[in-house]
Amino acid sequence: MTVATLADVLQPALRDGYAVAGLVTLGWEDMCAFVEAAEIEGVPVILQAGPGCREHTPLPVLGSMFRYLAEQATVPVVSHLDHGYTFDECREALECGFTSVMFDGSRKPLAQNIDETAAIAELAHQASISCEGEIGFVGYAEGEASAGTDPVEAARFARQTGVDAMAISVGNVHLQQDTSGGLDEPRIRAIEKVTDVPLVIHGGSGVPVAQRIALANSSSICKYNIGTELRMAFGEALRGAVNRDENRFDRVAILKDTHVPMLQACTRVLRSMGYVSGRMAEKTI
């Protein structure tokens, strides 16, 4: 079945040593390109609706769009709420057909984060969908500073919340436009020693490709969230489409010209997830 939950795609990734791309979507055009790229590569994909996307398009609409693409796809597609901040928002996503919700209580005290995440994980599991939580705080490039994940707190968080995936802060930041940094591998090793929950890296665009692949193959990191590098590719493609002809005005015609560049950008991302079998093993980055 191509309509998949987060647990459906992350447990095989944990077992077999690869990661699945959580792709941040903003509209129909990129969603279609992401699913097509996943079908070409023969790999699962996670379509994510973050806060920015939800400001532009209501959850019921996004749920229907994701569900339609998942039902038509030839590979597993997860419909994922990214950075849900309230119980009600996560419940609405569930009711709108999402197959996975991420509750972000990372700014809250540990005990509160655990209690609220556990309640949402229970809600999700009662509906046979998945829940991701975050322990530690993943900051923002030129914005809020990160607070690294403490392994002892991570073990308690995983045990007491029952989440299907755990986002951690190990040198990653949101909205980073280059890969000059890197992840704190000793901290990752310390975390995976105390829990067997699949680990998630938010801000995956800032992680060097070689490190993405190596950690996907050798650690419990099973999901990289990728947004910035794909948005940058879309912006470049859109500027090119508009500027090629100053007399063009048809929105659909202009947006069609972004499809191939987005398909190519997404393919590069999918090939950095460390797949070690099937078609992906035969391809080069």
Model confidence at 110, in pLDDT bands (50, 70, 90)? Answer: very high
> How much of the chain exceeds pLDDT 90, in percent?
80
- CATH code for the domain defined by 3-282: 3.20.20.70
List the beta strands (DSSP E) in the chain.
Answer: 3-4, 20-25, 45-49, 77-84, 100-103, 130-135, 165-168, 199-201, 221-226
pLDDT, mean over the chain: 91
What is the reported pTM?
0.93
Give the mean model confidence (pLDDT) for residues 52-78.
Answer: 96
In 3D space, the residue among 137, 101, 135 whose CA is nearest the CA of residue 7 turns out to be: 101
Instruction: Report in angstroms the alpha-carbon separations of 195 from 64, 69, 165, 267.
Output: 35, 33, 11, 31
Among residues 8, 30, 82, 104, the one annotated as catalytic is 82
Give me the pLDDT at residue 279, please.
Answer: 39
Model confidence at 172, in pLDDT bands (50, 70, 90)? Answer: confident
- Say whether pLDDT at 48 is over 70: yes
Distance CA 191, CA 139 (A): 19
User: Is 196 a known active-site residue?
Assistant: no
Give the mean model confidence (pLDDT) for residues 38-53.
Answer: 96
Give me the pLDDT at residue 204, please.
Answer: 84
